[in-house]
Amino acid sequence: MTTEADTAPMGIFERYLTIWVAASIIVGIGLGELFPDIFQIIGGLTAYEINLPVTVLIWLMIVPMLMKVDFHALHEVGRQWRGIGVTLGVNWLIKPFTMAALGWLFIGIVFRPFLPETEIESYIAGLILLGAAPCTAMVFVWSHLTRGDANFTLSQVALNDTVMIFAFAPIVALLLGISAITVPWETLTISVIAFIVIPLIAGQAIRNRVLQGGADHLKRFEAKLAPVSMAALLATLVLLFAFQGKQIIAQPLIIAMLAVPIILQTYFIAAIAYGANKFLGVEHRIAAPSAMIGASNFFELAVATAIGLFGFSSGAALATVVGVLVEVPVMLSLVAIANRSRHWFPAPDITRIPETSK
C-alpha cells in the first residue's frame, strides 16, 4: 500500500518555507504601517476571544493537513512499540517541559535586559505553546526524506493527534501556571475545540468522503488543497506581522533572540529521541521518523492558539511564528544528520518491510 509518507516529496512551498515566511514578515509590516486602521478592524472581529478571520484561515491551513492522518493505521502501534514509545515519551513527558525551561532561561534571564519587560511572560508562553504541539503534517515530508517507514509514521501521527486532543490543554495550562502566566481556561478550551477537534473531525470527514473514489483520488485532492493550506498560513502570518511591525522595527533582534531556545530545543529533543531509539535497537527506518516527529512542531496550532489566547500583537504570537521561520532549515539539517548516520543502526529486517519500501 502506498501512503503519504512514501510519496510526499518536498514541494516548492515546503522547501522555501523560510523565504515565504520572511517575505510575509516584510509584507505584513509594510501593510500594517500603510493601513493600520484596517488591521485594527480585523483584530476586533472576535467571538469568545477567538479572532474569526484567523479562525477561517486556520481551518483552511489545518484541515488539509489533518486529512493526511489515517486513524486506521493505529493497528500498527503494537508492531513498533519501541519507536512509538520513544516519540510519545519525548513529545509529552520531555519536550513541553524542556521548552518551558529553555524559554525561562534565555528569555527570562539571559536575554531579558534586551527585551521589552512587558512582553517577557508572553514570549515564554508562546514557546510553551510550541513545545506542547507535536507536529502533524510536515513529519510526512521528514519521514520521506529519511526513507522512514510509512506505516510507522502514519500510526505515530494518528496516535499523537489522539493524545493531543486530551493532553494539549492541560499541559499548556500547567506550564503557563508554573510560569506564573494567567491561564484563561475558557479561551484555552475553546481554542482546543476550534483548532484541534473541529479541524480533525472535518479533515477525517472529507478524507473518508474523497476516499470513496479511491486512494489515487485522495492523493490528487490533497495535492489540489496543498496550495490553499500554504496560502492560508502565509495570510495568517501577514496579518500577525501587520500587528507586530512596530515592535519588530523598534527591536529587530527580537526574532534572533527568540530563535535561540527554539533551535536548541529542536536539536536537543532530536538527539534524545534518536539516541533512545539506537539504545533500544530500533531500525533506522523507525528511529529517523521517530526523532523527526519528536523534534518538529505543529506550529500552525501553536500560532492559532497564541493568537486566540493572547492576541495578534502579543509576544506569544510572535514567538510561535519564529518557530515557523526556523522549522525548515533546522529540520533539513536533522534529515542530513539522520541520513549520514544510517550505518549506526541495525540492518533492516527485510521480511517486515512493506512492499513499497523494498
pLDDT per position as a tens digit, 321-355: 888 778 878 888 999 999 999 888 877 655 454 44
- What pLDDT shows up at residue 358? 37
> Which amino acid does the sequence have at 50?
I
Average pLDDT over residues 161-189: 81
Alpha helices in 179-253 (DSSP H): 185-192, 198-211, 215-250
pLDDT band, very low/low/confident/very high, at 357 (cuts 50, 70, 90): very low
Nearest to 232 by CA among 65, 61, 63: 61
- What pLDDT shows up at residue 14? 65
Output the nine-digit C-alpha cell for 115. Answer: 527585551
- What pLDDT shows up at residue 4? 43
- What pLDDT shows up at residue 13? 66
Task: Indicate whether 85 pLDDT > 60.
Answer: yes
More confident residue, 310 or 103: 103
- What pLDDT shows up at residue 276? 94
Crossing angle of helices 299-310 and 185-192, rounded to 10°: 150
More confident residue, 163 or 275: 275
- What pLDDT shows up at residue 277? 92
More confident residue, 106 or 29: 106
More confident residue, 269 or 217: 269
Q: Please state, as a whole number, how many other Cβ atoms lie within 10 Å of the Cβ of residue 298.
A: 28
- What pLDDT shows up at residue 270? 94
Asked whether the beta carbons of 79 and 349 are under 8 A apart, the reply is no
Residues facing 46 on adjacent strands: 51
Task: Indicate whether 9 pLDDT > 60.
Answer: no
- What pLDDT shows up at residue 348? 67
Cα–Cα dist 338/283, whole Å? 12
Average pLDDT over residues 116-126: 91
Cα–Cα dist 270/276, whole Å? 10
- What pLDDT shows up at residue 349? 59
Average pLDDT over residues 201-222: 86
More confident residue, 174 or 1: 174
Three-state DSSP class for residue 70:
coil
Q: What percent of the chain has pLDDT over 70?
A: 89
CA distances from 232 to 41, 161, 177, 236 (A): 19, 21, 32, 6
pLDDT tens, position by position, 298-321: 877 788 788 878 877 788 988 988
- What pLDDT shows up at residue 1? 35
Task: Indicate whether 265 pLDDT > 60.
Answer: yes
Asked whether the beta carbons of 133 and 92 are under 8 A apart, the reply is no
pLDDT tens, position by position, 29-63: 888 888 888 887 887 777 766 778 878 888 887 78
Residues facing 47 on adjacent strands: 50
Q: Residue 47 is inside which H or E element, if any? A: strand 46-47
